[in-house]
Structure 1
Amino acid sequence: MLRICRGLWGCTVLWGLGSGLPAMADEAPAAPKANESTKLNYVLGAIVSSGPDYTGGDGRSVHVRPAWALEYGRFRLSTSRGSTLMGHGLEQRESGATAVLAENDQFNLSASLRLDNGRKSGDSPLLSGLPEVRSTLRARISAGYAITPRWSVGAGLSQDILGRDGGAQLNTSVSYTLPVTQQTRVVFGAGASFGDRTYLRARFGVPAVAGGAGPSRLAAYEPGGGLYSVDLGVDVMTALSRHWVVWGGLGASQVQGDARRSPLTVRPTSFSASLGLAYRCCR
């Protein structure tokens, strides 16, 4: 499901659209054939997205980004949307290198490494003069469970492993898949994001040395850890042919807790949209 902030929906990680099209959502997934489990699968595409300039910001940004994925057996290298289009739906997907640790028709457990690009002070005039959120490498463990063929839940825990003040982050989600036709499905989702004190201080804190300084004259602020975002969204994906798929999504996110009380949170509720096209082979 679509992410619209640096929590669950939009700037970094996206929810799965269920198992691959055009199979119907209420059909049990077929077990892969022996030779299918070790062949190379790939997705190539592009996505246009519009969302907030940063979580809690009042500006907007529009981006055109590639959506791609390479998968061989239990290993995958991908962007977040490219991984979703690979046709999996039992785990939350993020960009990076992923290894599936355990998987069956209902449960999925995986481990991954991904690059967190952080946040630049030039992303918004309000951030000018504040320390940048440094890019880092995050290790993540993710799990997904299909309660029914249409209802599924997921969770992912990640940690900055380079010690660059990235802290720890937990994402949770619940989604419902509605098959509209043999080629089209709609996924409705909701989620919540949590961060430890280190994670929230980097993204919503204002150091004392920066308080009252600069054109924005922000007051010093030091948030604690906890819930920082809740999200809602809807994704639609249609198989145009055996290989070509098109998708679109809308989402809404609201900053919560200490993050909402931050001087950096100008607009606690934000919206995003995305549209894309991709070619996939050979699942």
Structure 2
Amino acid sequence: MLKYSVLLLAGLSGAAAAQTPTINPMPDGSRDMYVGLGAVSAPRWDGASERKTSVLPVVQFEFSNGIFLSGMTAGWHLSDGPVAEYGPLLSLYPGRTQSGRDAGVGHVTTAGSSGLIPGTVPVGVPLGASRLYGMHDIDRRVEAGGFFNYYLAPQVRLANTVLVGSGRDRNGLRYTLDLQRVATDAAEHHRIAAAVGFTLVNRQYNTTYFGVTAEESRNSLNAEWHPGGGLRDVHASVRWNWMFTPSWMLTSQVQVARLQGDAKRSPLVERPANVSVSTALAYRF
């Protein structure tokens, strides 16, 4: 029986954004494709107390030659053994504006508030402005790297991902290690997957997404901040897939990530614990 791979919501950022599907053994020349529509509720930016709900497309393509597209990540399984999976990756890392992360296909937002009272807002900063007011926009970036997954048991693997190319100068680096329980049968037509892990980043990454320059400090609510690299977050997730027909699947996920180190101490961070919830309806063809 073919393995049901992980579906990712396109545009969803965070710790598990570069998660790779398991090898899906298929006859030569065949393919396995899902498309659909979903919604994700997540903090407006990493560390924000305010949330945003976005409606986003879902996409996952897998081919018998090992090439796959999963959400905003593309890769190539070069291995064919039962113990190790490895190959190159390309990923599109979302940008950030003063309103938060890039929106997907349509979005629903709630009104923002900095929580500041009159008299505490710096001159030139509007009352009710968010922590991102006065911060420079960050463009989307294409990251390149690779993955190496090692199976400790048939349904348990250590997943390693390295990606470089994020940040203003395209030199931000992320390394993610996850212990994953790949999708297993919980009941007829229902499959559960879970993961726990951490993310390490370099100084250039943290400087872009959690740092505050002198110019930004003068124009915003934030004190100047020059972070170093290190542990960015620890995270855990649970995913539920419901195959209610051979062609239709409902996939839902809850992910919790807690910022650490210099990222957690950034003045941009209002709440170090970030919870993201997503659900999507996908059609397999």
Query: TM-score w.r.t. structure 1 length?
Result: 0.79
Structure 2 residue aligned with 1:27: none
Match of 2:263 among 259, 262, 266: 259
Structure 2 residue aligned with 1:208: 214
Q: Secondary structure at the match of 1:175?
A: strand
Deviates more, 1:270-279 or 1:116-125: 116-125
Structure 1 residue aligned with 2:65: 74
Q: Secondary structure at the match of 1:38?
A: coil
Find runs of 4+ consecutive structure 1 residues off by over 6 angstroms: 1-5
Q: Secondary structure at the match of 2:163?
A: strand
User: Retained in 1: the 8 A contact 2:36–2:282?
Assistant: yes
State the distance in 2 between where 1:127 and 1:253 align: 20
Alpha carbon RMSD of aligned pairs, Å?
2.6
1:274 maps onto 2:274 in alignment: no
Match of 1:43 among 34, 42, 49: 34
Question: Residues 176 and 42 of structure 1: is their aligned pair in 2 closer, same or farther, counting only changes over 3 Å?
Answer: closer
Matched residues, percent identical?
22
1:131 maps onto 2:136 in alignment: yes
Q: Secondary structure at the match of 2:219?
A: coil
Question: For residues 137-170 of structure 1, what are the alpha-carbon distances to aligned partners after superposition, in whole Å with 9 as ceiling and x for unaligned?
Answer: 1102011122112221101000118973441111
1:104 maps onto 2:81 in alignment: yes
State the distance in 2 between where 1:241 and 1:6 align: 29
Structure 2 residue aligned with 1:167: 172
Residues 169-188 of structure 1: pairs in structure 2 closer than 5 A: 169-177=174-182, 178-188=184-194
State the distance in 2 between where 1:104 and 1:67 align: 29
1:154 maps onto 2:159 in alignment: yes
State the distance in 2 between where 1:192 and 1:43 align: 28
Deviates more, 1:67-76 or 1:204-213: 67-76
Question: Residues 57 and 144 of structure 1: is their aligned pair in 2 closer, same or farther, counting only changes over 3 Å?
Answer: same
1:58 maps onto 2:46 in alignment: no
Match of 2:15 among 8, 29, 35: 8
Structure 2 residue aligned with 1:143: 148
Structure 2 residue aligned with 1:122: 99
Tell me: higher relative CO, structure 1 or 2? Use CA pairs within 8 A at least 6 residues apart: 1
Amino acid at match of 2:273: T
Question: For residues 163-204 of structure 1, what are the alpha-carbon distances to aligned partners after superposition, in whole Å with 9 as ceiling and x for unaligned?
Answer: 734411111101224521242121221110111000010000
Structure 2 residue aligned with 1:91: none
The number of equivalent residue pairs is: 249
User: Retained in 2: the 8 A contact 1:5–1:52?
Assistant: no
Alpha-carbon shift at residue 115 of structure 1 (Å): 2.1
User: Retained in 2: the 8 A contact 1:7–1:171?
Assistant: no
Q: Secondary structure at the match of 1:41?
A: strand
Structure 2 residue aligned with 1:24: none
Alpha-carbon shift at residue 77 of structure 1 (Å): 5.2
State the distance in 2 between where 1:161 and 1:126 align: 21
Structure 2 residue aligned with 1:246: 250
Structure 2 runs not aligned, ≥5 long: 1-5, 101-111, 113-129
Structure 1 runs not aligned, ≥5 long: 21-30, 81-94
Amino acid at match of 1:42: M
State the distance in 2 between where 1:39 and 1:254 align: 40
Question: Residues 46 and 104 of structure 1: is their aligned pair in 2 closer, same or farther, counting only changes over 3 Å?
Answer: farther
User: Retained in 1: the 8 A contact 2:42–2:53?
Assistant: yes
